[in-house]
């Protein structure tokens, strides 16, 4: 059978409707037995040898001509062919094939065994080359089909995560801390602060039920200062003035300004974003701790009753400005690592509010 290209789509006559559309989900029906195919569908039929030519062009020549005519044709062809091989029917999504156009998707994929006519969409797929960046905002709801430099495919599912928290802990009413460079020392921390609240880290492995020295991270300390629980005094490298230990500042506002200034000095605006995400997570009953060992901002525990009886953390959280664009290679790194340690990778996109995004690898 031979097709004819017209206005960017390939028309097929004969028994095409029955042979390609009704029984195998290619193209969309026109009048009678005629159907029209997108270039990528036509190329796939040529590739499989089901179609002989399009205006006399064989697969190779049609492929080259389509590459010249349509941006990212090669990438889209690879993904189309792969999803077909996995047993899915799918349609181009950019031009009302057949549902309403979705300018942010390349293909709509139907549930296995279903066709366009069933009106149910399983995945909305966005095709991305390894070297293209992807806006983080409004990514939830799409499957990214990433084509790497060697033309291998990875599918990443972007969803809105559920982050339930059940930790019930109120810090003591009053704590005194010493701001030292980029951390805060609480010399006489009640054992509860660490053991139940999972705030900070005991100094150099000291283990006792008595009040003992705890080191807080800047973000933990800033959050406790914002809650008016922690009061600060300050010691700085190179600061040789003789401030007595109890030279605390004027009040909570001053303390908050001081720790925010310190946070911004060491992390810039990132500190503000991390603090907001930290406080939101704590407010929702989760316990965020540093995600450093996983290259993330936080790992989170849904419910902490005590540190000595801690379950695994469930999420890794990376905090980003809402305007962030993902480099697919960075995304692959985060998602792969999270998968390897059986945690869910979550991105907190911070603007006026916080938008949550989870990305995980899927095998369609």
245 touches a copy of itself by CB under 8 A = yes
Residue appearing with tokens 């509010």 = 353
Please say whether the beta carbons of 356 and 364 come within 8 A: no
What is the strand order of the sheet 35-37 is part of?
28-29, 35-37, 9-12, 2-6, 53-54
The residue count for the chain: 364
Residue appearing with tokens 């930790």 = 167
Q: Is 199 a catalytic residue?
A: no
**Binding residues for a copy of itself, total number by CB under 8 A:** 70
Stretch that binds a copy of itself, among 34-42, 79-87, 109-117, 156-164 (CB under 8 A): 79-87
For a copy of itself, what does the binding mask look like between residues 166 and 205, x meaning CB under 8 A? ------------x-xxxx---x------------xx-xxx
Q: How many H-runs (helices) and E-runs (strands) does the chain carry?
A: 9, 22
Residue appearing with tokens 């790497």 = 148
41 touches a copy of itself by CB under 8 A = no
Sign of CA dihedral 99, 100, 106, 111: negative
Residue appearing with tokens 């690592």 = 337
Q: Is 312 a catalytic residue?
A: yes
Options 109, 134, 218, 317; binder of a copy of itself; rule CB under 8 A: 218
Options 2, 82, 272, 303; binder of a copy of itself; rule CB under 8 A: 82
217 vs 358, beta carbon nearer a copy of itself: 217
Stretch that binds a copy of itself, among 11-19, 102-110, 166-174, 234-242 (CB under 8 A): 234-242
360 touches a copy of itself by CB under 8 A = no
Sequence-ordered list of residues with C-beta below 8 angstroms from that of 68, at least 6 positions apart, any chain = none
Q: Is 44 a catalytic residue?
A: no
131 touches a copy of itself by CB under 8 A = yes
- How many angstroms separate the Cα of 207 from the Cα of each of 98, 211, 248? 66, 10, 28
The whole-angstrom separation of Cα 352 and Cα 161 is 19
Give CA 27 to chain center in angstroms: 33
Please count the CA atoms within 13 angstroms of the CA of 90 that sit on its side-chain side. Answer: 29
Q: How far is the CB of 240 from a copy of itself (least distance, A)?
A: 6
Near a copy of itself in 140-159, by CB under 8 A: 146, 148-152, 154
User: Which positions are catalytic?
Assistant: 301, 312, 343
Q: Which residues contribute to the site for a copy of itself (CB under 8 A)?
A: 47, 60-61, 64, 67-75, 77-78, 81-82, 85, 129-131, 146, 148-152, 154, 178, 180-183, 187, 200-201, 203-205, 215-220, 235-240, 245, 266-267, 289-290, 292-295, 328-330, 332-334, 336-337, 340-341
């Amino acid at each position: 059978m031979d097709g004819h290209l017209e206005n960017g789509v390939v028309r097929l006559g004969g028994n095409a409707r029955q042979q390609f559309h009704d029984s195998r989900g290619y193209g969309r029906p026109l009048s009678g037995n005629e159907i029209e195919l997108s270039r990528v569908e036509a190329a796939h039929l040529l590739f499989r040898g089901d179609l002989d030519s399009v205006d006399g062009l064989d697969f190779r020549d049609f492929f080259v001509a389509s590459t010249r005519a349509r941006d990212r044709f090669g990438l889209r062809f690879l993904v189309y062919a792969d999803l077909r091989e996995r047993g899915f029917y799918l349609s181009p999504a950019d031009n009302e094939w057949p549902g309403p156009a979705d300018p942010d998707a390349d293909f709509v994929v139907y549930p296995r065994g279903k066709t366009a006519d069933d009106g149910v969409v399983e995945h909305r797929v966005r095709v991305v080359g390894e070297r293209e960046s992807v806006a983080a905002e409004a990514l939830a709801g799409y499957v990214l089909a990433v084509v790497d430099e060697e033309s291998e495919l990875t599918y990443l599912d972007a969803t809105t995560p559920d982050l339930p928290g059940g930790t019930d802990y109120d810090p003591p009413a009053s704590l005194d801390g010493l701001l030292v460079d980029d951390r805060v020392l609480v010399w006489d921390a009640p054992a509860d602060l660490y053991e139940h609240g999972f705030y900070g880290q005991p100094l150099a492995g000291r283990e006792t039920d008595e009040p003992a020295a705890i080191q807080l991270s800047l973000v933990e300390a800033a959050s406790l200062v914002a809650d008016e629980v922690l009061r600060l005094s300050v010691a700085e490298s190179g600061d040789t003035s003789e401030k007595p230990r109890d030279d605390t500042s004027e009040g909570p506002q001053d303390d908050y300004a001081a720790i925010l200034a310190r946070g911004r000095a060491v992390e810039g605006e990132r500190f503000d974003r991390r603090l907001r995400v930290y406080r939101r997570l704590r407010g929702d009953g989760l316990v965020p701790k540093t995600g450093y060992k996983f290259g993330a901002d936080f790992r989170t525990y849904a419910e902490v009753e005590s540190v000595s009886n801690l379950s695994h953390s469930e999420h890794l959280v990376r905090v980003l400005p809402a305007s962030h664009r993902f480099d697919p290679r960075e995304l692959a790194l985060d998602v792969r690592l999270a998968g390897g340690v059986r945690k869910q990778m979550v991105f907190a996109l911070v603007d006026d509010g916080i938008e949550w995004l989870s990305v995980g690898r899927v095998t369609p």
